[in-house]
C-alpha cells in the first residue's frame, strides 16, 4: 500500500535532542564528521528530521540547513539540505528551479506534477506561496504556453479525483469522448484530453484506457503520439505511464538521469529524496526489471564520495 513501500522509516529510539547535539558536534568539530551526518539524516523519517530541525534551532539559534550549506558543498550539500527540507517545500523549490533563468525544465515540471497526489499538490501550492510570495499558477502561466500550460495549471490545482471507486459507465463515456476528440475527427480537441487525463482518478483512467482500446482498436499511447506533439504530448504520455505504473515511470527517469555522459543530479536527488518514504522499493524493482541491473549498482558506478554514500543509504540496498 502507498506509503509503506519506502526505504526510509521512522527510527525506533528517536530523540531529537540527542540527534541535534550529535549533528552540531559533527559540524562544529575540526573538519566535518560527514559519516555521522549521513548516518543520522538517512536513518530518520522526514517527520523526524523536521523535529531535529526544530530542536537544532531551539538549542543553537541556527537553521540546520544554513549550517549544512556553510559546511558542505556540491551535490552532497544539495542532497543533505533536501533531506532536512519538508516535502512540500522541497517540491515547491524544485518547481521554482525548473522555471528559473533561461529556458524551462519541462521534464521536471512534468514529473513533479504528474506523480503528486491532489493533496500533495495543495500542500505544494501553499508552500510555494509561502516561500516565494507568488502563486505557483502565476509562475507556470508566465513560463509555459498553449495546451501544455493549460494541462499543467489543471494539475497544479490539485483537483484530480482521489477516490478508488471506479465508474464503468463513465469510463465508457470518457473513452468515447477521447476517441471522438482525437482519432475520429479532423484536428484534435486537446481540451478534452486535458480534462479527462488531468481530473479523473488513476484507477478510473486505467479502466478508461481499456475501454478506449475496445472502441478504437488502438492503445491510448499510440493515439496520443499520433494526434499531439511537443511538451503537451510528453505530459499526457507521462500521465498514461503513471496511471499504468508510477514506479516504472520514475525508474525510467532515474535511468535517464544515471546513464550517458554526466549525471543529472537535479533529477536523481529529487526522486531519491521525494520517493524514499513512498515507493522507492517498487522503483528499485522496476529498475532491475527493465534494465537488468540494480539501481544501487547504477548509483555506485555513476557517483562518488559522500554523495554516493548518502544516495546508497537512501536507496537502502542492492537488488
Contact 300, 29 (CB under 8 A): no
Model confidence at 3, in pLDDT bands (50, 70, 90)? low
Count CB atoms within 10 A of the CB of residue 6.
20
Predicted local confidence at residue 36, as pLDDT: 96
CB neighbourhood size of 172 (10 A): 16
Q: Which of 30-34, 114-118, 314-318 has the lowest mean pLDDT?
A: 30-34
State how many domains the chain has.
Answer: 3
Residue partners of 315: CB distance under 8 A and separation at least 6:
7, 272, 280, 284, 295, 296, 299
Residue of 221, 304, 208 whose CA lies nearest to 265: 304
Note the helical H segments in the chain.
Answer: 16-28, 34-42, 46-60, 64-71, 74-83, 87-99, 106-115, 118-132, 136-143, 146-156, 168-181, 190-199, 202-216, 220-227, 230-258, 265-274, 280-291, 295-302, 305-315
pLDDT digits (tens, 9 = 90+) for 124-175: 999 999 999 999 999 999 999 999 999 999 999 999 999 999 999 999 999 9
Cα gap 20→111, rounded to integer Å: 33
Boundary residue ending a domain (138, 157, 176): 157
pLDDT band with cut points at 50, 70 and 90 for residue 276: very high
169 close to 185: Cβ distance less than 8 angstroms: no
Specify the range with the lowest mean pLDDT, choosing from 28-32, 106-110, 232-236, 255-259: 28-32
Domain annotation covers residue 273: no
Mean pLDDT of the chain: 95
In terms of pLDDT, which residue wins out, 185 or 48?
48
From 64-68, 113-117, 163-167, 256-260, the region with the lowest mean pLDDT = 256-260
| Segment among 26-30, 206-210, 237-241 with least mean pLDDT | 26-30
Q: Containing domain of residue 134, as a range?
A: 87-157
Asked if residue 282 is part of any domain, the answer here is no
Same domain for 99 and 127:
yes
d(CA 174, CA 179): 8
**Do 98 and 77 reside in the same domain of the chain?**
no
Select from 111, 78, 79 the least CA-distant residue to 315.
Answer: 79
Do 99 and 65 fall within a single domain?
Answer: no
Residue 91 forms part of a structural domain: yes
- CA nearest 200: which of 178, 219, 185? 178
pLDDT in tens, 19-47: 999 999 999 887 889 999 999 999 999 99
Q: Which of 89-98, 138-147, 255-264 has the lowest mean pLDDT?
A: 255-264
Nearest residue to 274 via CA among 258, 290, 238, 250: 250
In the predicted model, what is the mean pLDDT of residues 94-119? 92
pTM tops 0.85, yes or no: yes
- Per-residue pLDDT, 113: 98
* The residue to which cell 504530448 is assigned: 233
Smallest CA-to-CA distance from 36 within 51, 22, 48, 47 is with 22
Q: For 144-189, where are the alpha helices, taking DSSP H only?
A: 146-156, 168-181
Please say which residue of 244, 270, 304 terminates a domain: 244
User: Does the pLDDT value for residue 101 go beyond 80?
Assistant: no
Domain boundary among 228, 244, 260: 244
Whether the Cβ atoms of residue 161 and residue 200 lie closer than 8 Å to each other: yes
* Residue 211 in domain: yes
Residue 78 lies in a domain: yes
The answer to the question of residue 220 being in a domain is: yes
CATH number of 202's domain? 1.10.220.10
C-alpha cell at 60: 543553537
Same domain, residue pair 200 and 235: yes
* Whether residues 22 and 79 fall in one domain: yes
Q: For residue 1, what pLDDT band results from cuts at 50, 70 and 90?
A: very low
CA dist., res. 285 & res. 295, Å (int): 9
Amino acid at each position: 500500500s502507498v506509503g509503506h513501500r519506502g526505504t526510509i522509516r521512522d527510527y525506533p529510539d528517536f530523540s531529537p535532542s540527542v540527534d541535534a547535539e550529535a549533528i552540531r558536534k559533527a559540524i562544529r568539530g575540526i573538519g566535518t564528521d560527514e559519516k555521522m551526518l549521513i548516518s543520522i539524516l538517512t536513518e530518520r523519517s522526514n517527520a523526524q528530521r523536521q523535529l531535529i530541525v526544530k530542536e537544532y534551532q531551539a538549542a543553537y539559534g541556527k537553521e540546520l540547513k544554513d549550517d549544512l550549506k556553510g559546511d558542505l558543498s556540491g551535490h552532497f550539500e544539495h542532497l543533505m539540505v533536501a533531506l532536512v527540507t519538508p516535502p512540500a517545500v522541497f517540491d515547491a523549490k524544485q518547481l521554482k528551479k525548473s522555471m528559473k533563468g533561461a529556458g524551462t525544465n519541462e521534464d521536471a515540471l512534468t514529473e513533479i506534477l504528474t506523480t503528486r497526489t491532489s493533496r500533495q499538490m495543495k500542500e505544494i501550492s501553499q508552500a510555494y506561496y509561502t516561500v516565494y510570495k507568488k502563486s505557483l499558477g502565476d509562475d507556470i502561466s508566465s513560463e509555459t504556453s498553449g495546451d501544455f500550460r493549460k494541462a499543467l495549471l489543471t494539475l497544479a490545482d490539485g483537483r484530480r479525483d482521489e477516490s478508488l471507486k471506479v465508474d464503468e459507465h463513465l469510463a465508457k463515456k470518457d473513452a468515447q469522448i477521447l476517441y471522438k476528440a482525437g482519432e475520429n475527427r479532423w484536428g484534435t480537441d486537446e481540451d478534452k484530453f486535458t480534462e479527462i487525463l488531468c481530473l479523473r482518478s488513476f484507477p478510473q483512467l486505467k479502466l478508461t484506457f481499456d475501454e478506449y482500446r475496445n472502441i478504437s482498436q488502438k492503445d491510448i499511447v499510440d493515439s496520443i503520439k499520433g494526434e499531439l506533439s511537443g511538451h503537451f504530448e510528453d505530459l499526457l504520455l507521462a500521465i498514461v505511464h503513471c496511471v499504468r505504473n508510477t514506479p516504472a515511470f520514475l525508474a525510467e527517469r532515474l535511468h535517464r538521469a544515471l546513464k550517458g555522459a554526466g549525471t543529472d543530479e537535479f533529477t536523481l536527488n529529487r526522486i531519491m529524496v521525494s520517493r524514499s518514504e513512498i515507493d522507492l522499493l517498487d522503483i528499485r524493482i522496476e529498475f532491475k526489471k527493465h534494465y537488468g541491473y540494480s539501481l544501487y549498482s547504477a548509483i555506485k558506478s555513476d557517483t562518488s564520495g559522500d554523495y554516493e554514500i548518502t544516495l546508497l543509504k537512501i536507496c537502502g540496498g542492492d537488488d
